[in-house]
Amino acid sequence: MSDFRQDFLHFALEQNVLKFGQFTTKAGRQSPYFFNAGLFNDGYSMLRLARFYARSIIASEVKFDMLFGPAYKGIILAAATAMMLAEQGINVPYAYNRKEAKDHGEGGILVGAPLQGKVLIIDDVISAGTSVRESVQIIQQFGASPAGVAIALDRMEKGNSHTSAVQEVQQQYQIPVIPIATLDNLLQMLESENSLAEYRQPVASYRQQYGV
């Protein structure tokens, strides 16, 4: 496992973003772990998170011209990731959308740079894929094309069919989804950490039952 992916999962654990126990998902499943990226909610954790996004994007070698953050969670993620990419010598513009169009000032639904070229979407997770679909529509509406989607964690979990929401996005739009870490990475971490040994079997069983 690439070091930064393991570092990210340890960091998420330290920040209580990643937790182990018994949790009920939106789909009504009993999950042995929970990941809430909204708890990266101070300056230090956002700085670290954005650096992990930048590292995973660079490692993926995806080609892109700019970043797009879907409102609301994606706004800060896109801005912070743009700064961390710039720190690595990759200076690209970014934009985000408003939930409601503005009819005064600069107007419209977009804030930031004009959407053009290949646009990389930055979001926290892909659950139902709704945010991605809306983002792709906006990007294409302005004559640009989606380059991919960068997310924090891929749960690698079946949706309503035998594919996951991530796989559905990849298949529908023919673009890569770039997670900082995946459920498989999480299992690898549990295997290597004796202090987390009690969670190995529950997470492995969940992967066996619901994984793709």
158 counts as catalytic: no
Q: How far is CA 136 from CA 98, 100, 101, 140, in A?
A: 15, 17, 17, 6
Distance set, CA 56 to CA 79, 99, 150 (Å): 16, 28, 8
Whether residue 89 contacts residue 95, with contact meaning beta carbons closer than 8 Å, is answered with: no
Pick the catalytic residue: 102, 118, 158, 162? 102
Asked whether 76 and 82 are in contact (CB, 8 A), the reply is no
Contact between 83 and 51 (Cβ < 8 Å): no
104 catalytic residue (yes or no): yes
Q: Given the residues 10, 26, 99, 104, select the one marked as catalytic.
A: 104
Give the whole-angstrom CA distance, residue 127 versus residue 130.
8
Active site residues: 102, 104
